[in-house]
A = this chain, B = another copy of it.
Amino acid sequence: MHFADDLIDAIRDKGSPACVGIDPMFDMFPPELRSSTPADDPRRVLDACFSFVMDVLKIVAPLVPVVKFQSAYFEQFRHEGVEAYFALIREAKDLGLMVIGDAKRGDIGSTSAAYAAGHLQDFPADDDEFATADALTINPMLGIDSIEPFVSESDELGKGLFVLVRTSNPGSADFQDVKLADGRTWSELLADTLHQRVVKHRVGASGYSSIGVVVGATQVHTIESMRKRLPNSIFLLPGYGTQGATAAMTRAAFDSRGLGAIVSASRSILYPKRAPGEDWRSAIERATITLRNELANVIAG
């Protein structure tokens, strides 16, 4: 078992590198689901989120290889939301989807090890209604020793990680783009250090490492620079659609075989504009197919 090889296989099977971001945001739900749920009752709202995500998973499972669960939208509902998170990951896996847990954890030493255990180790056999993700997003700010416990755990389990390297929010420039004395940006230092110390030692048969990276697509040259520095990392490109990544930027993340990246879209898939009279499930399916087609054009182009 090797996470990157498994993911590349899944991308080939489904014929697309599209990843659907599971961001249950009740305020953006189809009006017919919102109107039947009292917005001031957190348990009813969580129930609505649970059944919405179940439906979304069933719609997208034939169309994409992987989904990305955003932990924050579950933690918002505290422990009951976390329970839903693990139960829905189980559903996603039963539908044949790979799952990324987008929790952006990061701490030091045994604390990182506890996060890694909680988010990556299997549930006990008698808790088989729950499952953990195949890969976790992590925050590397605290240093390479802070991510090592995550790396050890994912190595042992045949799972993967996506390390935050450069995000796509406007404020990412504040601390990630600053120039170092040696001429690199801080994110470039991060990329080089990750590649040398972690990524390149975990390359599978696919040519890709079990340690991927999150790189926000905001400028073509950023993606190109990161691709050179991290030739063996699968790029998780968030924010396609809503956050405005373009085809040219996205293309720079893929190799000549059209592999090496997954492109995540959340709101543009889950909460699409609907044609007059269109069922919300059909709109989600249509939006997913549109994403598939757009990415096929990007990769071919």
Contacts and interface: CB of A to CB of B under 8 A. Distances in A.
A131 B78 CA distance: 10
B146 A115 contact: no
A190 B186 CA distance: 12
A71 to B, nearest CB: 8
A72 B144 contact: no
Contacts of A118: 72, 75-78, 81
Interface residues of A, number: 62
A78 B180 contact: no
A72 B107 contact: yes
B186 A172 contact: no
B72 A112 contact: yes
A38 B154 CA distance: 26
A268 interface: no
A171 B186 contact: no
A1 B73 CA distance: 28
A72 B143 contact: no
A42 B124 contact: yes
A176 B106 CA distance: 14
A128 B139 CA distance: 33
A53 to B, nearest CB: 15
Given A167-B108, A181-B180, A142 B172 contact: yes
A145 B164 contact: no
Nearest to A142: B167
Interface string A173-186: 11110111101001
A107 to B, nearest CB: 6
A77 B175 CA distance: 34
Contact of A82 (B72, B78, B119, B139): B78
Interface of A: 23, 25, 42, 70, 72-73, 75-83, 85-86, 104-112, 114-115, 117-119, 123-124, 130, 139-146, 164, 167-176, 178-181, 183, 186, 189-190, 193
| Closest 4 pairs between A and B when the two form their complex, measured CB to CB | A143-B171, A145-B171, A79-B83, A72-B114
